[in-house]
Structure 1
Amino acid sequence: MTPLRGARAWQPGLDPRAERHLPQPPLSSGSGSAGNGSAATGPVLVVGGGIAGLTAATGLAERGVDVVLVEREATLGGRVRSWPVDADAAAEAPGLTMSRGFHAFFRQYYNLRALLRRADPGLERLRPVPDYPLTLADGPTDSFAGIPRTPPLSIAAFVARSPSFPISALAKVDIGAALGLLDVRFPQTYSELDGVSAAEVLDRLHFPDQARHLALEVFARSFFADPTDFSGGELVAMFHTYFTGSAEGLLFDVPDDDYDSALWQPLARHLTGLGVELRTGTSVTRLEESADGIRAELDDGSSLTVSDVVLATDRATLQRLVGEATWLGTPTWRDALATQRVAPPFAVWRLWLDRPAAQGSPLFLGTSGYGPLDNITFVDQMEAGAAAWAEQSGGCVVEVHAYAVPPGTEEATLREVLRRELHRLHPELATATVVHEEWQLSQDCPLAGTDPWADRPGVVTPDPRVVLAGDGIRCELPVALMERAATTGWLAANALLARRGLAGHELWTVPMRGRGQSVAHSARRLLGAAR
């Protein structure tokens, strides 16, 4: 896409330097598709009903394209879905829901927010979180409340206020390497750090020991990866997106109810109104090339013949479908996709307890040094359904996460340690009775490893009829996690729209380059004073 600078009547957020990216012009009529030499006119199959698939379906349907979306789960949202707790198994907590864990909707997530606005124009279903403290065991707790939004003031204010950055430790920071974090440009920065892990990036900076938990044990692990196996380029992009390159601030929003009720049911109604056929609880088992398009076989025994396909699935499913589609692309391309890895397992444990948390407990607390515990979320402070249960019962609904769980970890041992660390931080809950609990241990997140960035699969494939989307798909823009899923969904739709001679959708991102001399000058003064 082409960045567009200059005057504009609308901005997606508060940062005046946010960049608008226009889609490539549509191809001329008759440009055709692989296999038949004529422009695509038939329906599009979207495989996967997570953020990426929902975005692609939205982008296509809004231009009048017939879309069939197939999702294997009963509810939409992918790794950001929720579902009802089984009434038979949880008679004590009827009507409550489970999910795959907490997600932060940052204000920099312009393209995800553009999707959500389709069903909620004012984003009224998102509510701001006043703070998300990050605590180090036997160490300091950092806060993001009250930090100015705009670099370099945000950087200076945070470092000046943070107990994780004592002046004595700042004197040891490698100023040249630190300023390199500000000298970024995308997508080049991704490739420049090929083979370098997130841990190595901070080693080069000589970050204070207490500060490393901010960048490694908290932020890097949000990618469900061990810092020694997580891409240094992705870490630097995170610094840029959330801190050094954006003036949207460091706080975020959360939905006011479970994901399905607040986000995906309203969007499903919007898509249905556009004519999208939604098939949930169904899987695509195979893709075959046929004389009249691409034939998809489903696990219910039915089949579909379509002109184009968006593969917006988890990594394992993508690898299986592509590996069996020997007509798709080249052996070299299919082999490269097959080598992409998944991140280690992660655990989500939701507990309905018979007593409340201590007054003033934060909705979300990031942790480091508490064994496998990565964060604690009080769901009843966020979701209307959980809040109603807590008010009625006098209890609370708490969720704990453990990211990058080492393979072979015994589930019983992991639970026991997580329980102990929860009680270490919330001793008032140590004697609480568990009214109900839900446990998830999953391993289906793509790994953003230290492998060459350019070798990762991109949106466009060797066959223009088939495009990819998801948070594990290579994207030249500085986006990650849910925002990468949404962004690649829009890009996938745009690629297929261009083939049909239809206009695509614009995208927005934080600046594609670092903020330059003003931030560097401020950083030099701050770090220099520490010496």
Structure 2
Amino acid sequence: MRAGVPGRDRRARRIDPRPGTAAVTGQAPRVAVAGGGIAGLSAATVLAERGVRVVLYERREELGGRLAGWPTRLADGSPVTMSRGFHAFFRQYYNLRALLRRADPRLRTLAPLPDYPLRHSRGHGDSFAGLPRTPPWNALGFVARSPTFGWRGLAGMRPRAALRLLDVRVPDVYRRLDGVSAQDFLREIRFPPDARHLAFSVFSRSFFSAPGELSAAELALMFHIYFLGSAEGLLFDVPDEPFPAALWDPLERYLRERLGVEIRTGSAVESVLPRGERGLLVGCGSGAGSVSGSGSGSGSGEELYDAVVLAADVAGLRALVARSPGLGGGPWRERVAAARTAPPFLVSRLWLDRPVAAERPGFLGTGGYGELDNVSVLERWEGEAARWAARTGGSVVELHAYALDPLDDPAAVRRRLVGQLHQVYPETRRAEVVDVRDEWRADCPLFPVGGYPDRPEIRTGDPRVVAAGDAVRVELPVALMERAATTGFLAANALLERWGVRGEPVWTVPPAGRPALFRALARLS
């Protein structure tokens, strides 16, 4: 990290908040944050650091949202932590990393993986290790050595159409490409067929969407954030222990003990009802599988707040708004009601009685193997899995499959995934499964063709109520976990402005493509 810049990219952009006091003066306002995922934790942190009294509600017993973890016990008696699976913490995630630095200033719990390898069933593959990190040299270096792309593939593309990937500006990219699917866009620019799995594996499938459903604007934004617009590179870090131990337990201690945040897990915000000048009446109930909150003890009832941050997932936000007449403006409510979730995905984690081959990478993206999208060997980086593998002589392997048919049977999908694992890593055919855990979920936001104008925004029409999360629209080049953290910061900033308090600066990758010559040519295309 260079002085004044959160990463290595000198062109990273800083967006400063409005001027104001360093902290709240006088009677501190009281704010409810609905949702304990990345967005809610980000908003709660910024607010509490500036003297706001914060109560954080999370319907589950664990913090972390879609990155939560929970204890389970294997058939061999081993206590382990289960989660929804592998997540890559890219170096471009400036705001997420800023959040995590609150409890871990040097990010010691994030370990780098040496490569982001991709493999197709036809036998060819790609690697991002050792490439230059600064555009356009990273792209040229990739083309020079890629067996699936190469100079022939580059020469076969339609240059005028493809140049649009080099001039990605938000929100202009949505005006130009949101009406086209990712699949059709790649066909239009004649992206080499053998390399399409690369684009789908790295970018489209990251959104849990089939390429025919995903907006081409989101695909182009991904290319910009991770490859063509940023000098941070496409390699990433992973937590060296399960999510709770590495990320959320330390952050929870910071919030509770250093900032005085009241955290009520097992407590869901059911409704938010405006009560004029008195404030907002927040109605709560116990979350799934919970009788009461584990924070201050109030798991249900109604309380008045000065402001509210809505940081629930898509389904939770839709239900909350539907139960809250008068909350937010009419157009914003309509956007929330229209929000959709992506098709279901499956995470299957297998504890095997023997190891996979030593040369297998910690993470492998796959294409052409049926539903299988990637394979992780957890003991390559996660301490808990490594200790289990060392004690038993086995391996902990995780399989991901995205954009599945909602009518599919999860157990049948897992059986197919295991068969596909045997093709990718043949030595696993001899392994017995000690235990298995499946996570079948359908709660990630969908970014469909033409859907950008209908996304809910941070500002709801009521200045006391703001929204945050990866489904929330923000006109910055951010996505996935980083969009959640960024909107959390910006939602907190929007409330702090009302009280004359200076908020949190946010950082993004460069807001436009580079170099300038390519941008100019793209605008002529």
Q: TM-score range by the shorter chain?
A: over 0.9
Residue 137 of structure 2 aligns with an amino acid whose one-letter code is: L
1:46 aligns with 2:40: no
Letter in 1 for 2:237: D
Two-structure CA RMSD over aligned residues (Å): 2.0
Verify: 1:184 aligned to 2:178, yes or no.
no
Q: 1:301 to 1:413 in 2, by over 3 A?
A: same
Separation (CA, whole Å) in 1 of partners of 2:355 and 2:271: 49
Alignment of 1:2-401 (within 5 A): 9-26=3-20, 41-85=28-72, 87=73, 90-272=74-256, 273-291=258-276, 292-299=278-285, 300-401=299-400
Measure, in 2, the Cα distance between the counterparts of 1:26 and 1:499.
Answer: 10
Q: Which digits, 9 at most, give the CA deviation of each residue in 1:429-457, with x for residues without a partner? A: 11211111111101100101112422211
Amino acid in the other structure paired with 1:517: A
Q: Could you tell me how far 1:305 is from its partner in structure 2?
A: 1.3
The residue aligned with 1:34 is: none
Alpha-carbon contact 2:313-2:443 (below 8 Å) kept: yes
Q: 1:494 to 1:521 in 2, by over 3 A?
A: closer
C-alpha distance in 1, partners of 2:317/2:447? 16
Name the counterpart of 1:407.
406
Given that residues 197 and 228 in structure 1 are in contact (C-alpha distance below 8 angstroms), is that contact kept between their aligned partners in structure 2?
Answer: yes
Contact 1:127 1:255 in 2 (8 A): yes
Q: Secondary structure at the match of 2:11?
A: coil
The one-character-per-residue Cα deviations of 1:409-446 (angstroms, maximum 9, x if unpaired) are: 12232122101001111111112111111111011001
TM-score normalized with structure 1 length: 0.92
Indicate the larger mover: 178-187 or 143-152: 178-187
- Could you tell me how far 1:323 is from its partner in structure 2? 1.6
**Amino acid in structure 1 at the alignment position of 2:48:** A
Task: Quote the residue 2:294 is aligned against.
Answer: none
Do the aligned partners of 2:351 and 2:434 also contact (CA within 8 Å) in 1? yes
Change in CA separation of 1:93 and 1:199 when aligned onto 2, cut-off 3 Å: farther
Could you give the per-residue CA deviations for residues 205-229 of structure 1, whole angstroms, max 9, x where no partner exists?
1011111111124420110011111
Change (3 A) 1:173 1:95: same
8 Å CA contact retained: 1:41, 1:500:
no
Supply the distance in 1 between the matched residues of 2:156 and 2:231 (Cα, whole angstroms). Answer: 28
Q: Tell me if structure 2 keeps the 8 A contact 1:152–1:522.
A: no
- Measured after TM superposition, the shift of residue 91 of structure 1 is 4.6
Query: 1:165: how far off?
Result: 1.1
Aligned partners of 1:41, 1:215: CA distance in 2, in Å?
48
Contact 1:19 1:508 in 2 (8 A): yes
Cα distance in 1 for partners of 2:15, 2:300 equals: 42
Residue 288 of structure 2 is matched in structure 1 by none
Judge conservation of contact 1:26–1:503 (CA < 8 Å) in 2: yes
Offset of 1:286 from its aligned partner?
1.8
Gaps of 5+ in 2: 286-298
> Is the 1:218–1:367 Cα contact (8 Å) retained in structure 2?
no
Tell me the residue number matched to 2:472.
Answer: 473
Give me the whole-angstrom Cα distance separating, in 2, the residues matched to 1:458 and 1:26.
Answer: 24
What SS does the corresponding residue of 1:327 show, helix, strand or coil? coil
**Distance in 2 between the 1:26 and 1:463 partners?**
21
Contact 2:346 2:410 in 1 (8 A): no
Equivalent pair of 1:352/1:396 in contact (CA under 8 Å): yes
Cα pair 1:346 1:404 within 8 Å, conserved: yes
CA shift in 2, pair 1:97/1:184, >3 Å: same
Residue 397 of structure 2 aligns to which amino acid in structure 1?
Answer: V
**Alpha-carbon distance in structure 1 between the residues aligned to 2:186 and 2:302:** 51
C-alpha distance 521-431 of structure 1, shift in aligned 2 (>3 A):
farther
Paired with 1:121 and 1:41, the residues of 2 have a C-alpha distance of 28
Q: 1:489 to 1:260 in 2, by over 3 A?
A: same
On the 8 A contact 2:272/2:327 being kept in 1, the answer is no
Question: 1:399 is paired with a residue of what secondary structure?
Answer: strand
1:436-515 counterparts in 2 under 5 A? 436-515=435-514
Identity percentage over the alignment? Answer: 54
Unaligned runs of 5+ in 1: 1-7, 31-38, 524-531
Paired amino acid for 1:48:
G
Query: TM-score, normalised to structure 2's length?
Result: 0.93
Q: CA deviation at 1:107?
A: 0.3
Q: CA deviation at 1:184?
A: 2.0
How far apart are residue 82 of structure 1 and its match?
A: 1.0
Contact kept in structure 2, 1:152 and 1:518, CA below 8 Å: no
Q: Structure 1 residues 462, 419: CA separation in 2 closer, same or farther (over 3 Å shift)?
A: same
- The secondary structure found in structure 2 opposite 1:154 is helix
- Give SS of 2:350's match: strand
How far is 1:298 from its partner?
1.4
Say whether the 8 Å CA contact 1:221–1:227 is kept in structure 2: yes
Task: Indicate if the aligned counterparts of 2:136 and 2:228 stay in contact, CA closer than 8 A.
Answer: yes
Q: Determine helix, strand or coil for the equivalent of 1:227.
A: coil
Contact 2:379 2:396 (8 Å CA) reproduced = yes
Alpha carbons of structure 1 residues 183 and 393: separation in structure 2 relative to 1, 3 Å: same
Offset of 1:374 from its aligned partner? Answer: 0.5
- Tell me how far apart the structure 1 counterparts of residues 412 and 188 of structure 2 sit (CA, whole Å): 35
Partners of 2:423 and 2:386 lie apart in 1 by: 24
The residue type paired with residue 79 of structure 1 is: R
